Each structure stands twice: as C-alpha cells, then as structure tokens.
Amino acid sequence: MRVVDAHLHLWNPDILTYRWLEGDLDAPFAEAELREDPIEDVETQVAVFVQADPIDKHAIDEVRWVESIARATGVVGIVAGARLDRGRKLEKHLDALAEFELVVGVRHLLQDEKDGFARSRAFIDGARELAARGLTFDACVRHHQIPDVIALAEAVPGLRIVLDHLGKPAIGTVESPLPPSAEWIDALRELAAHPQALVKLSGLPAESGGRIDEGQMEPYLDVAAEAFGEDRLMWGSDWPVSSVDVTGQDSAYYFPGNRDDWCHTVADWAQDRGLDAEKLFWSNTMRFYGIR
C-alpha cells in the first residue's frame, strides 16, 4: 500500500515562534522525530505538510523552513498559512508563496474565529483569490462551524475545499463514547452535496484524548464514507497533535506509534467496507492538491 499522509505537521520552536505549544508538544517535531515514528508495512510513504500556526510574521519563514527539510521528511506538498481576510496584503502574501515550488494550498485556521467569520465579505473575497490562483483551501473548524464551510462552498464554487479532521465532531472518550450527532451528520451531508468539497479522515484521535478505539471511531468514518464516497476521502495522521495523550495527565504527553496505529485502523476499516485503499491513502490526496 502507498500512503501519502494528507495532514502532517512539523515545527521547531528553536527556529520559529508558536504561541500555542505547551507540554510535550513544546519541542521540535521535525526530521529526527518523524523518522522515529514511521508508518510500518507500507511500500511508499510521503506527506503533505499543513501549516502549524506560527505567529503571522513567520508564515513565509515556515514555508521556507519546511522546503529546506522536505526531502528528509518526505514532504511533497505544503499547505501554507495565510489570512484570507486581508485584501491587498493577502495578494502580496500569495505572490510570495508562489515563489515556493511545493506550495499547493492555504489554510486560514478557522477553529478559533467567531462563528460566521468565513461568511464575511473580506474572507469570501480572499477565497475567490485563492480559487483564481488554483490554490486549495483547508478548512479546520469545530463541528458547530461546519455550516460556515458550507456557506463558503456555496459562495465560491470554484474553490477546492477539504474539511480537516471531519469537522472535529464530539466523539467522547473510549470509556464514554458518543454516537455521531444528528447535527454533525446533517452538516457533513450538506457539505458533501458540493462536489468541490472533500474530507480528511484525520484528527479523531486528538478528539478522544490521544487514544484510538475502533468501536468509537468507525461510526464517524462510516458517516463520512456514506456522505462523500470513496473518491472524496483522504487519510491524514494529524501528527504529532493526534499522538498526544491527555487522559489522566497534568499536561499533554507525547508518545510515538499513534500515527502508524491510526493509519492501519483506517486501512482495516476501509477493507471491511470494501473501499479502495489506493484512493483513500494516495490518489485522492494527490489529485486534490495537484501533486505529481
């Protein structure tokens, strides 16, 4: 099986500034750390790097740094950070990003923005600029914000959008799992009605405190597969964020192995459901991001 990890983070607080890092995550996660946490038993593995939210003035520096270690980390595409609501400043920022060969898309991290932010005129104008330049958009929102992503898809039908982490549904814990909510199911189906939208099978371990349980996760994967179909699903590890255990700890505790475990959990689920693993783990991601 070939695997392109559609959602890999890398960072180094010795090089760039990140205000959100804490606990075990407040340390470098780059070449050496990734080398110690491989996906086992696959013939090929590469990755799409997704911006790790450094301070705004380091957004271009982050891309430059990731390109410098791309060969060592297997990165074949970069989803760069950019604020879509900044008009001419956005255009200049995108011009700067165009100088980097590996940039394939953009993420404006929406999960901490106010509800409705992605419906603003400034944001929609920025999204249209992305579409005009052939760039993709990673939508990272919490489950109650998925309607904003739906509105974005309606307003800019030419923009290729992927919903990160299945929209971060509330899944509970291994001990007390929650079933998929009707609101989340309806929102996912409504987003899937827009053919330019895809979804990443990523991030669920982080929503469960860093623990992976098939019985807890599979109902959410089933909803995504039913809504989007196998041609619009892509697997991502969300490494190292989804390799952090926060259960019973005073602070986040990083442990290797979740990346491999999540990959094979989804692969086993896909096989059980008769889904094409080549699409989920390779071709859908490569096609969406335009990577050759």
Task: Say what the pLDDT of residue 250 is.
Answer: 64
Do residues 162 and 136 lie in contact, with contact meaning Cβ atoms separated by under 8 Å?
yes
What's the rounded Cα separation, in Å, for the pair 165 and 192? 15
Written out in words, the top-level CATH class of the domain with range 2-289 is alpha beta
Phi, psi of 246 (to 5 degrees): -115, 10
> Cα separations (Å) of 154 from 87, 194, 260?
21, 8, 36
Task: Say what the pLDDT of residue 245 is.
Answer: 87
Task: Say what the pLDDT of residue 248 is.
Answer: 61
Q: Taking the chain, what is the end-to-end CA distance rounded to the nearest angstrom?
A: 18
Domain coordinates of the chain in residue numbers? 2-289
What's the rounded Cα separation, in Å, for the pair 1 and 282? 9
- Write the DSSP symbol of residue 222: H
Task: Say what the pLDDT of residue 253 is.
Answer: 86
Q: Tens digits of per-residue pLDDT, 166-178?
A: 999 999 999 999 9
> What's the pTM?
0.97
Task: Say what the pLDDT of residue 252 is.
Answer: 73
One digit per residue, the tens of pLDDT, for the chain of length 292 reads 999 999 999 999 999 999 999 889 999 999 999 999 999 999 999 999 999 999 999 999 999 999 999 999 999 999 999 999 999 999 999 999 999 999 999 999 999 999 999 999 999 999 999 999 999 999 999 999 999 999 999 999 999 999 999 999 999 999 999 999 999 999 999 999 999 999 999 999 999 999 999 999 999 999 999 999 999 999 999 999 999 987 765 667 898 999 999 999 999 999 999 999 999 999 999 999 999 9
Task: Classify residue 251 by burial, with Cβ atoms within 10 Å: 0-12, 13-18, 19+.
Answer: exposed
> Cα separations (Å) of 255 from 8, 26, 86, 258, 275?
16, 14, 38, 7, 30
What one-letter code names the amino acid at 224? A
What one-letter code names the amino acid at 88? R
Which helix (H) or strand (E) segment holds residue 200: the answer is strand 197-201
2 forms beta bridges with 44
Task: Say what the pLDDT of residue 246 is.
Answer: 77
Do residues 198 and 234 lie in contact, with contact meaning Cβ atoms separated by under 8 Å?
yes
